[in-house]
Structure 1
Amino acid sequence: MMMIPAVMAACEAQAPMAEDFIPDYQGVETKLLDGDLVQFNVAMTKARSAENVADYAECAAARYTLIRGFGFARHVRTNVEIVGGVWHADAVYTISPSLPRGLKTIDAEVTVQNCMERGIPTV
């Protein structure tokens, strides 16, 4: 009878550990589409929402913008999907040396700093 409690205990659900909630950023693929139009494909696990994956793509876009010698980017679109437990975002941004028109613009330097403070990797 001593074995029954041990077997039953092994079947109980384990309490989540802290690392179960730490996002696992799995990389960025960057593709120059045309001149100033750039596509970013990112993947991660343990995202809490589609917004987490979109933020990862934005951080990649901000760093790429700085690497290319520009200061600003404008968000065009982001598509998010989950495949086999992995979150994927396909995001497109335009990059430019001056603040572009539009509502969804980012200052690349400020955004990269914000990403670093939040622990989100960039390119």
Structure 2
Amino acid sequence: MIRFALITTAGLLAACTAGQEVTRAAPLRTAPPATASYEGIETRLLDNDLVAFHVKMRGATSPDDVTDYAECAAAQYTLIRGFGFARHLRTKTAEVSGLWQADAIYTISAAIPAGFRTIDAEVTVENCKINGIPTV
């Protein structure tokens, strides 16, 4: 009986999400490290819906910290441009002498874009504020 219920539930969940991507609602971390010092965000519009973000921070404990900072910047920029969603394309991170940097590229759109690495900009910006991560 339990096995049947699990199979049925899995089938229903698959049917509900068919054709619709799941959005990531929050950065990976629940809170930034206490030592975090956010050093700035540079934004470059590469095309109408393609945007590059270069962010810098000190006090990161892993590449995830600076990646989250870039995601927060992307989410806020998405809202500024009047869109609701972004899709992460790639992020390159590096650390030199305690300064972490991320170079990230996102597409922005009014509707949920195709792909697995999408974010709901409004929810993400709210989570960034709660977690103390700056945005654009």
TM-score (ref. length: structure 1)? 0.82
What CA deviation, in whole Å up to 9, does each residue of 1:55-99 have, x standing for no partner?
000000000000000000000000000122200000000000110
Q: Which consecutive unaligned segments of at least 5 residues does structure 1 have?
A: 1-19
Distance 1:68 1:33 in 2: 14
Which residue does 2:65 correspond to in 1?
52
Distance 2:34 2:110 in 1: 37
2:118 to 97, 105, 108: 105
Which residue does 1:89 correspond to in 2?
102
1:69 aligns with 2:82: yes
Identity, % of aligned pairs? 62
Distance 1:65 1:30 in 2: 11
Which residue does 1:80 correspond to in 2?
93
Distance 2:48 2:130 in 1: 31
Distance 1:25 1:41 in 2: 12
Greater RCO between the two (CA within 8 Å, min separation 6)? 2
1:24 to 26, 37, 46: 37
Which residue does 2:132 correspond to in 1?
119
Aligned residue for 2:133, secondary structure, equals coil
Cα RMSD of the aligned pairs, angstroms, is 1.1
